[in-house]
Structure 1
């Protein structure tokens, strides 16, 4: 069974919130936390990782906030997952288990294929489904 940490379970909806606002200016973490019912401090930690990975851009100070680093049509859900869960090569080392290691690599490749959907497409799907999902 797939296990994503709470970082990704909070991070993907938060980034989708930015995708829905893309081009509309900076979005404050507090506004996203309130809309999505997320803990603000944890969301700020998540955004820190996303900024470091180049997925999100931040502006500090009065009127500051967050925005996508690139257009939502050019960012994928997989980039968010990699930024929050660890990129390729993070699979555990299995001593002398070449076949098992290959199986895990194949699983990661398939997961990347599934998550290879743009944030713009996900935001559109969310809109079609009746708007933002507010609870995790």
Structure 2
């Protein structure tokens, strides 16, 4: 399974909204400009996220999008499944060799465990901590 730009950019949108949670709506234009992405493409991705109840849209001159709930309750798995569909490394059937089928199931479950145990809060904190550890040394 390879995560496409839909999943990667969807995570970007959701992380930006999580960073700004409680500050009011955020426009897709500002997210696109900050991350060097196509606003038109982000518009296509926000609709399924809104339909899944992960984000809310706010209309008006100062409108945009907000998370529908706290970032600690939204997982990467929630976002990836909405945008990419079911998580599976390969398509397999009951006729497949049981040893191979067991391997594919364990891989699928391992990926799902990581995605479902990683919240937007975790992703934001990881990014902020990794940036805080970057030191500049001058000689």
- On whether the aligned pair clears a TM of 0.5, the verdict is yes
Name the residue aligned to 1:21: 20
Structure 2 unaligned blocks of 5 or more: 133-139
- Any conservation in 1 of the 2:71–2:119 contact (CA below 8 Å)? yes
The structure, 1 or 2, with the larger RCO (C-alpha pairs under 8 Å, 6+ apart) is 1
Give me the whole-angstrom Cα distance separating, in 1, the residues matched to 2:59 and 2:19.
21
Q: Work out the CA distance in 1 between the residues paired with 2:97 and 2:24.
A: 49
- Structure 2 equivalent of residue 134 of structure 1: none
Instruction: State whether structure 2 residue 122 is matched by structure 1 residue 126.
Output: no
Q: Is the 8 A contact 1:14 1:36 kept in 2?
A: no
What is the alpha-carbon distance in structure 2 between the residues aligned to residue 102 and residue 30 of structure 1? 45
Contact 2:28 2:64 in 1 (8 A): yes
Unmatched 5+ residue regions in structure 1?
132-136
Determine helix, strand or coil for the equivalent of 2:131: coil
What is the RMSD of the two structures over their aligned residues, measured on CA atoms?
A: 2.2
Q: Post-superposition shift, 1:93?
A: 5.2
Q: Separation in 1 of the partners of 2:23 and 2:108? A: 35
Q: What are the equivalent positions in structure 2 for 1:89-108 lying under 5 Å apart?
A: 92=91, 94=93, 96-97=95-96, 99=98, 100-108=100-108
1:75 to 2:74 alignment? yes
Name which one, 1 or 2, has greater alpha-carbon Rg.
Answer: 2
Change (3 A) 1:80 1:98: farther
Asked whether the equivalents of residues 49 and 82 of structure 2 are also in contact (C-alpha less than 8 Å), the reply is yes
CA contact (8 A) 2:87 2:112 kept: no
1:52-100: per-residue Cα shift (whole Å, max 9, x none)? 12211112332211111110011111111111111368x6353722634
